[in-house]
Amino acid sequence: MKRGMRHGIAAGLLRVYKAALSPALHALAGTSSGCRFQPSCSEYAAIAVSEYGLLRGGAMAAGRLLRCHPLSGLLHGGGGFDPVPARGEATPGVPSGQVH
């Protein structure tokens, strides 16, 4: 599968999630369930895949999702502003001397 097609499929799945699944999950969970982070996890995933590609961006998005859970406040500081690292910045989980 070509790179452009993979990115298109990933972007389409994220749009479907944001338009249909996310609002339904928030409605079921109640008004107190909001995104812990800014940008939201789906926005983070879209930016990460766009900037870093499907594999690396997908791994970064998966790491973000693992930090987004009810115990997040106790283990990771609770959320807040957590942008996708710009190229050249340290990326969580990647040793500082490693090229990414």
Instruction: Note the pLDDT tens digit of each residue in 9-54.
Output: 888 888 888 888 777 777 776 655 567 788 988 899 999 998 998 8
Q: Is the pLDDT of residue 98 over 60?
A: no
Instruction: Note the pLDDT tens digit of each residue in 45-96.
Output: 999 998 998 899 999 999 988 887 666 666 666 678 889 999 877 555 544 4
pTM of the complete model: 0.69
Integer Cα distance of 36 and 60 in angstroms:
16
List CB contacts of 54: < 8 A, sequence separation 6 or more. Answer: 3, 6, 7, 10
Integer Cα distance of 98 and 82 in angstroms:
22
Structure confidence at residue 71 (pLDDT):
64
Would you call 61 helix, strand, or coil by DSSP?
A: helix
